[in-house]
Amino acid sequence: MSLVPTIYRSTDPGAPLLSGVPGALIALLDAVLVDGYGVGAGRKDGLGWKKGFGGVNIRAYQNSQAFGTGYFLRVDDTAARSALLRGYSSMSDLNTGEDATPSPALKTSGSMWEKSNVASGALRHWIAIGTERFFYLFVDTGGNYGTQGYSGTHGHYAGDITSMKPGDRHHFTVSYKGSDSEASSTVGYGFRARAWNDFGGADTQTSAFIGRSMSGVPGSTRAYVSASAATTSGVALGSQSNYPTYPYGGNGGLLYSPIDVLENAMQPRGFLPGAFAPIHRRPFPEMTVVTDVDGLPVGTQLLAKCVTVDSFAGGFNETYTGQILIDITNAWA
């Protein structure tokens, strides 16, 4: 495929359904990452990942070896309401690999992503955006699409972040919900920001796991996200209450920054690919396409995507929902 992102929605013709049953996330990822879906003019090809190994409701997908790390993403989707994910730099079979991300020392079973708040076939809407080396997945975990659209979704991501380290081969990242328990209100922490100087390594401070630290020593490391002017820890990106109003009086438009990924206090590793954090509190209606942003190439379009943390079944919440801006035009670095 490409490093230019593709958008997939549960409302697309032929899109796979997601629900709280075993194998539902695998069906979605098979389609989005590898096989594609739809027919004729409405068909969407997969992102260009490969199926490395497979079993009953378990897969190992591999991102681009030519343009990425070639890491594998193992997805154990044998439970109803959630799945367990782990990255590997290489794999010899479905259950054996190197550079486990998160390592068993950090997480015995892997990083939990939730599909639904109920163990049933009740439909859960979703939207995915990605490339052949990284993707975002937003899930309507609480089943609120009928009243909230996509604005109450919880976000996940996996793949190669944009690394600051030259020649980095272990910047593959798997997001974390902030808890190892199904139905915990601790959810969506892949987009829960912290100040640069505030990280103690706790689960509730962790946004993701990276293959190795910047030192290159084997062993995965915890990571968290931040952004310019993020001075309040524990709130969603784009939700800080003391941010200036949009449009900003100083430039008549948008203030924004890359989304920083740090592996320890004051230790940045890189950025989330193709994504920005507004330095305003949810400046745009959900799914607005923002154009003519100063500092970006002419013609760039940014998709405004709400991100909810902590509010599990309720979805969108004035306190807990923030917003990110995703580049849907240019190749992601």
Model confidence band, residue 311 (pLDDT cutoffs 50, 70, 90):
confident
- Say if residue 327's pLDDT is above 90: yes
Give the total number of structural domains in the chain. 1
Residue 1 has pLDDT above 80, yes or no: no
pLDDT for the residue numbered 185: 83
- pLDDT range class, residue 27, cuts 50, 70, 90: very high
CB-CB contact of 270 with 258 (8 Å):
no
Cis peptide before 273 (omega within 30 of 0): no
pLDDT value for 317: 94
Burial bucket for residue 264 (CB in 10 Å: 0-12, 13-18, 19+): middle
Is 163 within the bounds of a domain? yes
Backbone φ, ψ for residue 41 (5° rounding): -65, -20
Q: Mean pLDDT, to the nearest integer, of 123-127?
A: 99
DSSP of 208-229, one letter per residue? EEESS-TT--SS-EEEEEE-TT
Average pLDDT score over residue span 35-54: 98
- Residue 332, in any domain of the structure: no
Structure confidence by residue, pLDDT tens digits, 57-98: 999 999 999 999 999 999 999 999 999 999 999 999 999 999
**Structural domain for 260, as ranges:** 6-327
- Give 214-237 pLDDT, tens digit per residue: 999 999 999 999 999 999 999 999
The mean pLDDT value of the chain amounts to 97
- pLDDT digit string (tens) for 163-206? 999 999 999 999 999 999 997 889 999 999 999 999 999 999 99
Is position 164 within any domain? Answer: yes
First to last CA, the chain: 15
Q: Judging by DSSP bridges, how do beta strands 256-264 and 172-175 pair with one another?
A: unpaired
Would you say 149 and 127 are in contact if contact means Cβ atoms under 8 Å apart? no
Q: Is residue 272 situated within a structural domain?
A: yes
pLDDT bracket for residue 320 (50, 70, 90): very high
1 in any annotated domain: no
| pLDDT, average across residues 270-281 | 99
| Banded model confidence at residue 47, pLDDT cuts 50, 70, 90 | very high
pLDDT above 80: residue 49: yes
Copy the structure tokens of residue 135. 């993707």
Q: 83 burial class (0-12, 13-18, 19+ CB within 10 angstroms)?
A: buried
> The pTM is what?
0.98
Q: What is the pLDDT of residue 159?
A: 99
What percent of the chain shows pLDDT beyond 70? Answer: 100
Is position 116 within any domain? yes
Tens of pLDDT, residue by residue over 259-268, are 999 999 999 9
Q: Does some domain include residue 333?
A: no
Q: Tell me the C-alpha to C-alpha distance, in Å, between residue 293 and each of 46, 211, 299.
A: 29, 33, 9
